[in-house]
Amino acid sequence: MDSSHFSKMINDFKPGIFGALNEKKEELLRAGKKVYNLSVGTPDFEPAPHVMKAMQDACGKPENYKYSLADLPELLEAVKNRYEKRFGVHLETDEIMSVYGSQEAMAHIGMVFCDPGDVILVPNPGYPMFEMSGIMAKAEVRYYEIREENGYLPDLDSIPEEVLKRTKYMIVSYPLNPVCVCAPDDFYVRLIAFAKKHDIVILHDNAYSDITFADRPGRSFLAYEGAKDVGVEFYSLSKSYNLTGARISFVVGNRDIVSRFRLLRSQIDYGIFYPVQLAAIAALNGPDDFIERQREEYGRRNRALCGGLRKIGWNVPDSQGTMFVWVRIPEGYESSADFCIKLMEKTGVIVTPGSAFGSNGEGYVRMALVVDTDTIREILDVLEKSGMFLQG
């Protein structure tokens, strides 16, 4: 069929750099060369044994294969307990709902707020799924710029008033993938006041609150006064609990938003598979000392990779949070995509070009901390021998 059979939206989607990187990877593998894939944020840690056992036990019971239709009361209670214990945030039952991963939720939530012509605000650079929420809702996607010189925090005062008048919601996420920074307390205070002043909803993606490298653990947006008045938070079990394939996350916060979103989702699905709900209950209620050990291991990888790259001549700042590292490409390359292809050809190391995350990502690359420190040392040796980072 030709393109006329399909929607303008799907015809506008392009494989982009990821397709080119995958083709180059397959070419290297066919040639028998070793590849180090630091491009994809899939944790290499296993889920906790008690979580896997809860899933296994639940899968052995035939009654758990029926439509679930709603969240188990025990699941809602587990989320309440987790937020109270971890973030010091009190949630009511009607302020919580499960979703099939934050990515699915982000793709659909725009339909709760937007009519054609409404505006949403997303960061540039930012996670590509953020803009998809507006595209799916047929809203106009506008970008607020975040730059290295401003600590990758938005300049709220620079957003034009005419844009704010049409804006339904603003997506914010710290620690932020891909730029790997955390936001200070006073930013959230200003953000909430800004949202109230302009009558804008805040959607906070909190996927990486358990992977931060400062002394103080990551926090919840809802821990700040007035946050529930203006928005909701997406809390995922994918990265903290290594349950990426289970697709279980939560939208928590403002009860009116949660209620309307639950109504929308009741039209398109029948609830989270019971064994996944029961695994999530085990994760949220269980001991979480492994989360701290995992955070410490990510920290060791962060220091090993960034410190090692600085030693061979690539000035890489340590990541503040997330499971990634964000760095400016060396001089002499036409673009971040050009650098990524040449890096892969010479070393077998695959990283993601910053341009995949927006125009302000051009000139940077993102690397995932998904290999152990021994492999990181091996990668550093390969990079040093390549001669690509010699200063002179």
Residues 197-242 have pLDDT tens digits of 999 999 999 999 999 998 778 999 999 999 999 999 999 999 999 9
CA torsion 273-262-101-359 (nearest 10°) is 160
Show the tokens assigned to 168: 């339904």
Q: Which residue did the predictor score with more confidence, 2 or 252?
A: 252
CA torsion 243-247-252-254 (nearest 10°) is 160
Query: Distance between CA atoms of 133 and 168, rounded to whole angstroms?
Result: 12
Q: Output b/e per residue, 76-94; b: 16+ Cβ within 10 A.
A: bebbbebbeebbebebeee
- Is 305 part of any domain? yes
pLDDT at 310: 96
- Is 313 part of any domain? yes
Same domain, 184 and 322: no
- Is 126 part of any domain? yes
Locus of tokens 């999530």: 280
Q: Pick from 231, 266, 285: which residue ends a domain?
A: 285
- In this prediction, residues 50-71 reach a mean pLDDT of 97
pLDDT at 249: 97
- Is 260 part of any domain? yes
Q: Of 272, 307, 351, 260, which Cα lies nearest the Cα of 70?
A: 272
Cβ atoms of residues 251 and 258 within 8 Å: yes
pLDDT at 187: 97
- Is 104 part of any domain? yes
Partnered with residue 121 across adjacent β-strands are 142, 170
Query: Distance between CA atoms of 9 and 166, rounded to whole angstroms?
Result: 22
pLDDT digits (tens, 9 = 90+) for 177-199: 999 999 999 999 999 999 999 99
pLDDT at 29: 87
Q: Of 28, 20, 21, 27, which Cα lies nearest the Cα of 382?
A: 28
Same domain, 298 and 198: no
Same domain, 274 and 300: no
Task: Phi first, then psi: give them for residue 350, nearest 5 degrees.
Answer: -105, 125
Q: Of 227, 261, 245, which Cα lies nearest the Cα of 98?
A: 261
- Is 392 part of any domain? no
Question: 390: pLDDT confidence band, cut at 50, 70 and 90?
Answer: low
- In this prediction, residues 142-147 reach a mean pLDDT of 95
pLDDT at 15: 62
Share of the chain above pLDDT 70, in %: 97
- In this prediction, residues 31-46 reach a mean pLDDT of 91
217 Cβ contact partners less than 8 Å away, ≥ 6 residues apart: 86, 209, 210
Q: Residue 140: is its pLDDT beyond 80?
A: yes
Same domain, 154 and 253: yes
Cis peptide, bond prior to residue 175, ω within 30 of zero:
yes
Cis peptide, bond prior to residue 49, ω within 30 of zero:
no
Same domain, 69 and 160: yes
State which amino acid sits at residue 73.
Answer: P
Q: Pick from 239, 264, 285: which residue ends a domain?
A: 285
- Is 24 part of any domain? yes
Domain housing 280: 49-285
Domain count, the chain: 2
DSSP summary character for residue 61: -
Query: Distance between CA atoms of 232 and 252, rounded to whole angstroms?
Result: 5
State which amino acid sits at residue 292.
Answer: E
Query: Distance between CA atoms of 130 and 126, rounded to whole angstroms?
Result: 7
pLDDT digits (tens, 9 = 90+) for 316-346: 999 999 999 999 999 889 899 999 999 999 9
- In this prediction, residues 122-144 reach a mean pLDDT of 94
Cβ atoms of residues 361 and 178 within 8 Å: yes
The CATH number assigned to the domain holding 172 equals 3.40.640.10
Question: 392: pLDDT confidence band, cut at 50, 70 and 90?
Answer: very low
pTM for this predicted structure: 0.95
Q: Of 34, 25, 38, which Cα lies nearest the Cα of 351?
A: 38
Partnered with residue 321 across adjacent β-strands are 212
Same domain, 69 and 181: yes
- Computed over every residue of the chain, the mean pLDDT equals 94
Q: Pick from 285, 300, 323: which residue ends a domain?
A: 285
Same domain, 160 and 234: yes
Locus of tokens 């979703």: 99
pLDDT digits (tens, 9 = 90+) for 291-308: 999 999 999 999 999 999
Query: Distance between CA atoms of 52 and 276, rounded to whole angstroms?
Result: 10
- Identify the helix (H) or strand (E) that includes residue 226: none
Q: Residue 391: is its pLDDT beyond 70?
A: no
Same domain, 179 and 212: yes
Partnered with residue 231 across adjacent β-strands are 202
Same domain, 178 and 255: yes
pLDDT at 8: 85
Query: Distance between CA atoms of 256 and 236, rounded to whole angstroms?
Result: 21
Same domain, 215 and 107: yes
- Identify the helix (H) or strand (E) that includes residue 328: strand 324-328
pLDDT at 343: 94
The CATH number assigned to the domain holding 313 equals 3.90.1150.10
Question: 2: pLDDT confidence band, cut at 50, 70 and 90?
Answer: confident
Half-sphere exposure of 325 (CA within 13 A, CB side): 29
Same domain, 234 and 274: yes
Query: Distance between CA atoms of 82 and 249, rounded to whole angstroms?
Result: 13
Same domain, 126 and 253: yes
Q: Residue 19: is its pLDDT beyond 80?
A: no
pLDDT at 9: 82
- Is 391 part of any domain? no
- Identify the helix (H) or strand (E) that includes residue 191: helix 185-198
pLDDT at 18: 66
